[in-house]
Amino acid sequence: MATAPEVAKPLARPISQPAFDVARVREDFPILKEQVHGKPLVYLDNAATTQKPRAVMEAEQRFYLTQCSNVHRGVHYLSEQATRAYEDVRVKVQRFLNAGEAREIIFVRGTTEAINLVASTYGRKNIQAGDEILITAMEHHSNIVPWQMLCEEKGALLRVALINDRGEILLEEFEKLLNPRTRFVSVVHVSNVLGTINPVAQIIQMAHRWNVPVLLDGAQAAAHLKVDVRALDCDFYTLSGHKLYGPTGIGVLYGKAALLAAMPPYQGGGDMISSVSFAKTTYNVIPYKFEAGTPNIAGTIGLGAALDYLNGLGFEAVGAQEQELLAYATPALSRIPGLRLLGTAKEKAAVLSFVLDGLHPHDVGTVLDQEGIAVRTGHHCAQPLMDRFGVPATTRASLAFYNTKEEIDALVKGIQKVKEILG
């Protein structure tokens, strides 16, 4: 099913061939040929959502054209095909994250739903009044608000680990915040604003010394670096399909089987039950206990194609290309007078958030847009982090492996135009 023929191409490249063939990879993403306001599209908003390779769109279309049916229901041929295609992706995700078992992979809408699921089920069951939940100062709203809601309901306390001016977690401070009342740690793997790659292995070790489970928000990480949930020993991992070249509306919650099995269900409905009577319902086993109702079948199949595509490129190649772009873009932007980069961590993904003296990011974004350049402006759903750096908003260029140095040059030129127009 989702094993698109395209994914084999990059593997077929002779190993001796040097650098990443960006021109060839860009051919896989039809949208990159689009024009915006009469200029070639320069898409630098990959942290918001990545573009989709043709293989992903074709996989979804193939499902609707030839396999469309519901899963886990019918005895007929199409349903069997759809079920197999859907469950095959669960195994793909398991391998992608190096999870121990496929039943540890729950399909959800995205990272936001994954975190809400854990807060609503594990959280409601295990967090009591006076307990503490530990997050960091660089969390996305989706890894703040569900915990705040839980804390409010339970009378628990949300504690926040601070970061330094480079945008790195103060690990010693983090460790000091762990105490006998700490019941849960939820930390972003890679910051959507700063690009910081957090020392999650150390964080998990620290938390585990207190027998505290850790959730990693992997929304910005999974597309850019190899994630190994078993090596990390994280208890929960979340990701969004659309941020790793897959469709919107599909994401993943990984959880250790023992934890998931002990958690109450999230939503009630079909598929999550094993038997229902008006007197009593018996819940299905994991993962189905957490997948009430007809799932996003086409999206799941698209996600499978995205994983195949990424695996085809290889994380080594993807990572090297993105780091090269970051190494090129960082000094190029820093040289611009009046520009200040936010997020200068030693371990960093290819995200460049910046402010320009006297210019508001919204105005910057509007001028760049007229140049065909797509960047994100605003608070990036991380208002507490904006407060930490004393800015109301930033402009953010977030890169993917299909971006080029020429596009970075276009951004630099665009910023000069910004200064010309608004200066």
Partner 1 sequence: MADLRALYQEVLLDHSKHPHNFRAMADASRSAQGYNPLCGDKVALYIKLEGDRIADVSFQGTGCAISTASASILTQVLKGKTREEAEALFTRFHDFVTGQGQPDGNAPELGKLAVFSGVSEFPVRVKCATLVWHTLRSALSGSEDLVTTESAVE
Please work out the total of residues on this chain that contact partner 1, with binding judged by CB under 8 A. Answer: 18
> In whole angstroms, how far apart are CA 87 and each of 3, 72, 93, 172, 296?
13, 10, 10, 42, 12
User: In terms of residues, how long is the chain?
Assistant: 423
Type of residue found at 170? L
Q: Strand locations in 67-127, DSSP E?
A: 105-108
Under rule CB under 8 A, residue 148 binds partner 1: no
Under rule CB under 8 A, residue 392 binds partner 1: yes
Site stretch for partner 1 (CB under 8 A), options 163-171, 227-235, 282-290, 359-367? 359-367
CB 97 within 8 A of CB 108: no
Give the nearest distance from C-beta 385 to partner 1 in angstroms: 12
State how far the Cα of 374 lies from the Cα of 28, in Å rounded to an integer: 19
> In whole angstroms, how far apart are CA 26 and each of 22, 53, 179?
6, 9, 49
State how far the Cα of 327 lies from the Cα of 306, in Å rounded to an integer: 26
State how far the Cα of 40 lies from the Cα of 285, in Å rounded to an integer: 50
Site stretch for partner 1 (CB under 8 A), options 81-89, 174-182, 241-249, 355-363? 355-363
- Alpha-helical segments (H) within 35-75: 54-62
Under rule CB under 8 A, residue 409 binds partner 1: no
Under rule CB under 8 A, residue 388 binds partner 1: no
Under rule CB under 8 A, residue 162 binds partner 1: no
Residue from the set 145, 383, 384, 409 that interacts with partner 1 by CB under 8 A:
383
Under rule CB under 8 A, residue 18 binds partner 1: no
DSSP 294-311: S--HHHHHHHHHHHHHHH
Which entry of 68, 151, 234, 381 is annotated as an active-site residue?
381
Give the nearest distance from C-beta 398 to partner 1 in angstroms: 18
Under rule CB under 8 A, residue 370 binds partner 1: yes
Residue from the set 79, 360, 384, 409 that interacts with partner 1 by CB under 8 A:
360
Give the nearest distance from C-beta 350 to partner 1 in angstroms: 24
Residue from the set 146, 343, 361, 414 that interacts with partner 1 by CB under 8 A:
361
Of 220 and 394, the one with the shorter C-beta distance to partner 1 is 394
Residue from the set 69, 148, 366, 404 that interacts with partner 1 by CB under 8 A:
366
CB 7 within 8 A of CB 309: yes
Can you read off the two tokens belonging to residue 39? 């200029």
Site stretch for partner 1 (CB under 8 A), options 52-60, 255-263, 288-296, 386-394? 386-394
Of 227 and 382, the one with the shorter C-beta distance to partner 1 is 382
Active-site residue 381, yes or no? yes
Under rule CB under 8 A, residue 240 binds partner 1: no
Give the nearest distance from C-beta 410 to partner 1 in angstroms: 15
Under rule CB under 8 A, residue 378 binds partner 1: yes
Q: Which residues contact 302 (CB under 8 A, 6 or more apart)?
A: 2, 52, 56, 57, 59, 60, 241, 246, 247, 250
> In whole angstroms, how far apart are CA 135 and each of 33, 36, 142, 155, 215?
40, 39, 12, 17, 10
User: Which helix (H) or strand (E) element contains residue 374?
Assistant: strand 373-374
Site stretch for partner 1 (CB under 8 A), options 70-78, 225-233, 266-274, 378-386? 378-386
Residue from the set 80, 153, 271, 363 that interacts with partner 1 by CB under 8 A:
363
Under rule CB under 8 A, residue 386 binds partner 1: yes
Under rule CB under 8 A, residue 36 binds partner 1: no
Residue from the set 297, 367, 373, 385 that interacts with partner 1 by CB under 8 A:
367
Residue from the set 84, 362, 405, 413 that interacts with partner 1 by CB under 8 A:
362
DSSP 131-152: -EEEEETT--GGGTHHHHHHHH
The answer to whether the peptide bond before residue 213 is cis (omega within 30 degrees of 0) is no
Under rule CB under 8 A, residue 95 binds partner 1: no
Residues that bind partner 1 (CB under 8 A): 358-363, 366-367, 370, 377-379, 383, 386, 392-393, 421-422
Catalytic center residues: 381
